[in-house]
Amino acid sequence: MSQEVIYLDNNATTAVAPEVLEALLPYLRKSYGNPSSMHTFGGRLHRKIDEAREMVAALIHADPEEIVFTSCGTESDNTAIMSALESRPAKRHVVTTRVEHPAVLNFVKHLARKGYRVTFLPVDNNGRLDLEAFQEALDEDVAVVSIMYANNETGVYFPVETLGSALRDRGIVFHTDAVQVVGKMPVDVRTLPVDMLSISGHKLHAPKGVGALYIRKGTRFAPYIIGGHQEHNRRGGTENLASIVGFGKACELAGRHLHEEQTRVAALRDRLEASLVRNCPGAEVIGATTHRLPNTSNIGFEFVEGEAILLRLDEYGICASSGSACTSGSLEPSHVLRAMGVPFTRMHGSVRLSLSRYTTDSEIDRVIEVFPPVIKELRALSPYGR
């Protein structure tokens, strides 16, 4: 591809930061030892894992001991839920929402097939959680509540503080999937009432294949990946050293750029969104515009197919998404937008644009220029849109 790519799909994955690549390469080149080895060549590398652990912990104000490295956000989510269930074998009820990422949704559906009871909480048209339904679901049998911090498709936050406070002192484990939040918004587990929290490296400019699970001190924990003694017996498997080093660096950088995410990136997103809604008839933002990630916009274009928009944008080198990366490829409308009751005609024409700290003003100018004629042209082809 000769033209420059304009990458607005950062909720799917992000570019590895140059500083991250530089930090991790020595551990793929010369320092390839196994950190569990007795010899100095390998064993000394354990220190690098501990340093990375400190950096990840610092980003969310955790104690390094509360961080367990995993292979991805999905593993962190599965581990948290399974650990809560194994630690409370008498309790068989899991509470979650209809709009979780498949990393939670499909895992709890699997648990339901194994005999666990699962409550899927509904959301309203703006993607906000039904708090009454949440309260009603909390019976004596609940072992774990797993509710995402922010939705990957719409960027809408859930009130994790309120939910956690309601769960405190009830003996229910509260897990939140914060994969889309950490690195974009400040997270402080000293005041956030959660027991476990999932993070994924590749959403914050670290490589793919590394993640972390925060486990609050005092929370009962049962490992999910069982093998060697790595991660203080909490997660077996030889550590992905280079990626862990890179993840640590990425967290340090994310901490430094948090303010920019809230200000410059949010302003770019707002400019893009306002312009598209103004200049594309029948375009409307999907989901609440307050309480939303600073980088995410989901726009529904009436009477146009989202996939058709993506293909046309692709010709201009613009990368966007029509829902979760895991569901694209199938023409099933997004489970998130369905749960929100987004009208059929808008849901099918939904496009998610997600920015990063690498997104520039001139890239947004270009997208603003390209988009309206694309929508006009596609709508002219639609039997309903003319």
User: What per-residue string of b and e applies to 290-310 under the rule 16 or more CB within 10 Å gives b?
Assistant: eebbbbbbbbbbbbbbbbbbb
Q: Shortest Cβ distance from residue 153 to ligand PLP (Å)?
A: 8
Nearer to ligand PLP, 206 or 309 (CB): 206
Angle, helices 73-87/102-113, rounded to nearest 10 degrees: 40
Among 14, 96, 97, 152, binds ligand PLP (CB under 6 A): 152
Nearer to ligand PLP, 34 or 328 (CB): 328
Q: Shortest Cβ distance from residue 178 to ligand PLP (Å)?
A: 8
Nearer to ligand PLP, 247 or 371 (CB): 247
9 binds ligand PLP (CB under 6 A): no
Q: Shortest Cβ distance from residue 61 to ligand PLP (Å)?
A: 21
Six token digits for residue 210: 């590394």
Question: What is the pattern of x (binds ligand PLP, CB under 6 A) and - over residues 82-121?
Answer: -------------------x-x------------------
Among 17, 93, 94, 177, binds ligand PLP (CB under 6 A): 177
Give the range of 66-74, 219-227, 262-270, 287-295 binding ligand PLP by CB under 6 A: 66-74
73 binds ligand PLP (CB under 6 A): yes
Q: Shortest Cβ distance from residue 184 to ligand PLP (Å)?
A: 11
Nearer to ligand PLP, 200 or 230 (CB): 200
Nearer to ligand PLP, 81 or 179 (CB): 179
Nearer to ligand PLP, 180 or 297 (CB): 180
Which of 249, 254, 251, 211 lies closest to 24 in space, CA to CA?
249
326 an active-site residue?
yes
User: What per-residue string of b and e applies to 187-204 under the rule 16 or more CB within 10 Å gives b?
Assistant: bebeebbbbbbbbbbbbb
74 binds ligand PLP (CB under 6 A): yes
State the residue for tokens 């709009």: 99
Give the range of 78-86, 173-181, 240-248, 257-265 binding ligand PLP by CB under 6 A: 173-181
57 binds ligand PLP (CB under 6 A): no
Nearer to ligand PLP, 200 or 350 (CB): 200
> Greatest CA separation found in the chain?
72
Give the range of 69-77, 234-242, 249-257, 281-289 binding ligand PLP by CB under 6 A: 69-77
349 binds ligand PLP (CB under 6 A): no
Question: What is the pattern of x (binds ligand PLP, CB under 6 A) and - over residues 194-223?
Answer: ------x-x--------x------------
Q: Which residues are catalytic?
A: 326
Name the site residues for ligand PLP (rule: CB under 6 A).
72-74, 77, 101, 103, 148, 152, 177, 179-180, 200, 202, 211
